[in-house]
Amino acid sequence: MTIRAAADGSALGNPGPAGWAWYIDDRSWAAGGWKHATNNQAELTAVLQFFRATAHLDDDLLILCDSQYVINCVTKWMPGWKKKGWRKADGKAVMNLELLKEIDAELVGRTYRFEWVKGHANHPLNEAADSRARAVSEAYQRGAPIPSGPGFVRSGDAAAARPSETTLAAPSEPTPSLFSFDDEPGFDDGPSFDDEPGLDAEHAPTVDLTITLSAPEYERLRSRSKSRGTTPEQTLRDLI
């Protein structure tokens, strides 16, 4: 049997109040989050918590996800990163390392596949996961109770709902990135070239990006660049 679920994340302000959620149906879903995290961290955690919630099962898993970053991390890039000591092709440390290591540990012995779905396009499962993840981020923003969900429940399953880990105790707050450009609400994930194992950065396809910063934001960027002895452009590139 294949268990089909959507996994999604939300970060208001990105980084900011954040929530994650996985959703099978109205009887079987879970959510959680933090006061401050990035959207990528929330998306990765949704996948991690779904693997943990189904760790006692032998079923195949089909995970619907609107983040190509998450799908590429799990299905393409992690083997190469591990061979390089969890380093990217340019030698820099992989971002969100602890989450990725935890996901990697959960993959052992599991049969799974990912399917990309376009976010905010009225896909029923994706919309259900997205709305629950956003409800958590908004609850953290307001200081309201966090909707955690029933956990994994299957009709006729002898085991009752097994709550995901953060329904019992909230995880430690992840260290957010300075900037996060992808996976904003309404953003349509396109091709992604960064962090791919073995990718020769010198010959990789390039994309021109224009970013508008306020004067205080630019001064912070310039100050950070000066302390590193690099240009503002290189500082931004190093964050990717």
Q: What does the pLDDT read at residue 165?
A: 36
Of residues 9, 19, 32, 119, which has the active-site annotation? 9
Name the band, by pLDDT with cuts 50, 70 and 90, for residue 225: low
Q: Is 219 a catalytic residue?
A: no
Known catalytic residue: 32? no
Question: What is the per-residue pLDDT for 179?
Answer: 35
pLDDT confidence of 3, banded at 50, 70, 90? very high
Annotated catalytic residue: which of 130, 189, 194, 195? Answer: 130
3-state secondary structure of 49: helix
Looking at residue 194, its pLDDT comes to 42
β-bridge partners, 11: 18
**179 assigned to some structural domain:** no
**Looking up tokens 């200081």, which residue turns up?**
143
**Does residue 207 lie within any of the structural domains?**
no
Q: Is residue 116 part of a domain?
A: yes
Q: Is residue 178 part of a domain?
A: no
Residue 238 bears catalytic tag:
no
Confidence (pLDDT) at 205? 47
Contacts of 84 (CB under 8 A, 6+ apart): 91, 197
The residue annotated as part of the active site, out of 56, 60, 98, 120, is 120
Is position 60 annotated as part of the catalytic site?
no
Average pLDDT of the chain?
80
Report the domain count for the chain.
1
Whether residue 128 lies inside any domain: the answer is yes
Whether 43 sits among the annotated catalytic residues: the reply is: yes
26 tagged catalytic: no
Burial class for 205, CB neighbours closer than 10 Å (0-12, 13-18, 19+): exposed
pLDDT tens by residue, 137-182? 999 999 999 999 999 998 655 444 344 333 323 445 564 443 333 3
User: Which CATH number does the domain housing residue 92 bear?
Assistant: 3.30.420.10
Residue 52 has pLDDT above 70, yes or no: yes
Identify the active-site residue in 16, 36, 66, 183: 66
Examine residue 227 and state whether it is found in any structural domain, yes or no.
no
Mean pLDDT, rounded, for 67-93? 95
pLDDT the model gives residue 158 = 42
Q: Residue 227: which pLDDT band, with cuts at 50, 70 and 90?
A: low
Give the residue numbers spanning the domain of 150.
Answer: 2-173
CA dist 140 and 35 (Å) reads 6
In a domain, 120, yes or no: yes
Residues 166 and 132: their CA atoms lie apart, in Å, by 14
Report helix, strand or coil for 34: strand
Closest to 129 (Cα-Cα) out of 10, 3, 11? 10
Among 72-86, 163-177, 205-219, the range with the most confident prediction by mean pLDDT is 72-86
Average confidence (pLDDT) over 192-205: 40
- Over residues 93-99, the mean pLDDT reads 96
Q: What is the DSSP string of 10-69?
A: EESSSSEEEEEEEEEETTEEEEEEEEEE-HHHHHHHHHHHHHHHTTT---EEEEEES-HH
pLDDT category of residue 14 using cuts at 50, 70 and 90: very high
Is 16 a member of any domain?
A: yes
Per-residue confidence band for 229, with pLDDT thresholds at 50, 70 and 90 = low
